[in-house]
Amino acid sequence: MKESLKDKIFRRLGLKDLRSRHSEFVRSADMVMDRVCAFLDVLQFLAALACLVCLALYVGFEKDVLDHSMIFKVIGSSQTIFIIAVFANLINPQRRKRRVLMRRVFDVVIILTLVPVVMQHCDATESAFFHFFHSRRFLFGCLGIYSVAQLCYGSMNLLGRYTNPSLILSVSFILFIIIGSFALMLPKCTVGSSHLRYIDALFMATSAVSMTGLSTVDTAELFTPLGWTVMAVLMQIGALGVLTFTSFFAIFFSGNRSIYSQMLMRDFIFSKSMSALVPVILYILSFTLVIEFLGALAIYFTLPDGFESSFGNKAAFAAFHSLSAFCNCGFTTLPHGLATPALMNGTPLFYIVIVVLILAGGIGFPNLVNLRDVLVEYIRRIKAFFMGRSYVRKVHVYDLNTKLVLLFTLIFFVGGSVVFYLFEYNHAFEGMPVGKKIMQAVFCSATVRTAGFVTVAPSHWLGVTFVIALFLMWVGCASQSMGGGIKINALAAVLFNLRSIVMGQKGVAVFGRSISLSSVRRSNAVVCFSIFAIFVYSCLLMILEPDLPAASVAFEAFSALTTVGMSFGITPEFGDLAKIVLATAMFLGRVGVISVLCGIIGDRPDVSVNLPADDIVIN
């Protein structure tokens, strides 16, 4: 190989060995720096965890009960670790190149927490600018957001390459249920000297994360605004999914987009391609926040005059119930729920807003993404038409999944409204004006499919209405939505499969397309597991609570597994063991029995393809 002029000069001057030593020194220094940064990553993860715990203790305990000086020391130590790690990553050339925009923004935010230290000897210490940066709200807010992002980033890095996605989903929900239960135990979350037992706190956290709405305590009288805030956060996490939040922070905080992490996130949000992961996650988060914000505005302006004593209370009420309705949770801060006379005698627009939010939350994120794509497609067609350009139209604008969900949602919603109106016209709705009867029929049809809000108690329904309501509860909403049940998708696949069997067809055809065999098999499994789980939990709760009415106990199990949250009012009377069993039912209703089994059992070799086929006798 021909020696370059630069190498000749270094060789003649006797600097070639010095150059190689310098290169070796640089590589060694980079290696040491990488190890230091890796150590700081671990240290940041632990500091973030400690910081969040201390912030929770600071918010949840009174000053005279807990030593705040020790809390401030831990928070200050965490802040120091964060700042050291930020500067270490900036010094490291490799890490500096990989710093994405969002990570740089977070780094700047952490560095801004040093402003009070820098300015304390300046003349501007009395300015509003200084007081803002010196306030605990700013400091704790920055450290809290940075800690959450750091924990998400560390959690995604901890996921092994061969980790079962179903197991990750189940464990993540369990983890947040446990965290939420301890948060609800904080003294400031309950009124006065009221004490929430841990069993009840665990039950309430499970009910919030699973978006069920069952309660073992009088939430309206027990929880403070801080307690309701914790419940709202748990509901939001349970609705969007823990991995959606984690994926969002992990991607935008670190730029970590390995093939495995992208495939993992694609499975959780059911994206068609890995290239669309970031837009889909952003769309899901932005759509949720926008709908909940618009819903809160609509609720605020449809509340009766004088409903709340102050603007803040009225706004908080609107925001919480918008979130609760969109997430299909059914929690309410009112002692008598949405059957409060002030609301019942007010404008029906309030209930219309709640119904719209419930339906929006029950459509499912994959269908919302497809509807967005449909809107974009039609806009392009209109644009091409007016500009006189040729445009190649997509053959299938609507996904088969979207068509089935929209069709069956319309059928069950309209059908349920008609059933409630006809059968309860002179029964549960007796004495109401015709307009209010129509409104209540529509409201009951929407809420019974997993939202769980109650204006007319189930015990007041006719028997035929109750049976049909049970069917609507069992079906629930769409897959990957806020609702529970076996899901409309599964029922549609089962029904069309039955039709194909009766007609002697080999495949399952609908809307000019064929439903895959794997989807049909999974739908059959979901239906079978649901029936089996309802049977097992009903029997188990009847054994644990023999003194309570059997029908009411069975309805509790049914309501928990379908994550509806309706009850005959016997939930607080359950014993501790029965509460734990009911909590597991809510968890299974949210995560899914199949997901839990797949996470526990894992993938096994398929030997069926190598075995001879045979028929069994089925009449």
Question: Do 150 and 45 touch, CB atoms closer than 8 A?
Answer: yes
pLDDT of residue 577: 94
Give DSSP secondary structure letters for 587-606. Answer: HHHHH-HHHHHHHHH-----
- Which of 197, 195, 214, 176 minimizes the C-alpha distance to 583? 214
Section 534-541 average pLDDT: 94
Query: For 211-267, how does the pLDDT look when each residue is reduced to its tens digit (9 = 90+)?
Result: 888 899 888 888 988 899 999 999 988 887 655 655 555 555 555 455 555 555 555
The set of residues, in sequence order, having a beta carbon less than 8 Å from that of 473 and lying 6+ positions away, is 448, 449, 450, 485, 558, 559, 562, 564, 566
> 474 falls in which pLDDT band (50, 70, 90)?
very high
For CA atoms 307, 312, 313, 315, the dihedral sign is positive
- Give yes or no for a contact between 48 and 146, defined as CB atoms under 8 angstroms apart: yes
Domain annotation covers residue 594: no
* Average pLDDT, integer, range 609-614: 72
Q: Is 322 in contact with 451 (CB distance < 8 Å)?
A: no
72 inside domain: yes
CB 391 within 8 A of CB 380: yes
Q: How confident is the model at residue 204 (pLDDT cuts 50, 70, 90)?
A: very high
Cβ contact 561:534 at 8 Å: yes
- Residue 53 covered by a domain: yes
125 within a domain of the structure (yes/no) = yes
pLDDT class of 15 with cuts at 50, 70, 90: low
Mean pLDDT across 119-132:
62
From the list 469, 464, 432, 476, the residue with the least C-alpha distance to 454 is: 469
Q: For position 26, what pLDDT does the model report?
A: 58
Those residues with Cβ within 8 angstroms of residue 445's Cβ, 6 or more apart along the chain or in another chain: 412, 413, 414, 415, 416, 417, 419, 420, 472
Report helix, strand or coil for 328: coil
Residue 100 belongs to some domain of the structure? yes
Confidence band (pLDDT; 50, 70, 90) for 29? Answer: low
Q: Which DSSP letter does residue 305 get?
A: T
Higher pLDDT pick, 309 / 343: 343
* Position 599 in a domain: no
249-258, 487-496, 506-515: least confidently modelled range? 249-258
- pLDDT score at 202: 93
> Among 599, 605, 602, 601, which Cα is nearest to 166's?
599
The number of beta carbons lying within 10 Å of the beta carbon of residue 512 is: 9
pLDDT in tens, 184-200: 988 888 887 667 889 99
- Number of domains composing the chain: 1
> 315 CB contacts (<8 Å, ≥6 apart)?
296, 300
Dist. CA 493–CA 489, nearest whole Å: 6
Residues 6+ apart with CB under 8 A from 482: 211, 239, 326, 327, 328, 361, 362, 450
Residue 45 belongs to a domain: yes
Among candidates 489, 491, 473, 469, which has minimal Cα distance to 481?
A: 489
What is the average pLDDT score of the chain?
81
- Would you give the DSSP letter of residue 329? -
Domain of residue 103: give its range. 26-158
Q: Indicate whether 113 belongs to any domain.
A: yes
Q: pLDDT tens digits for 404-441?
A: 999 999 999 999 999 999 999 888 888 888 989 999 99
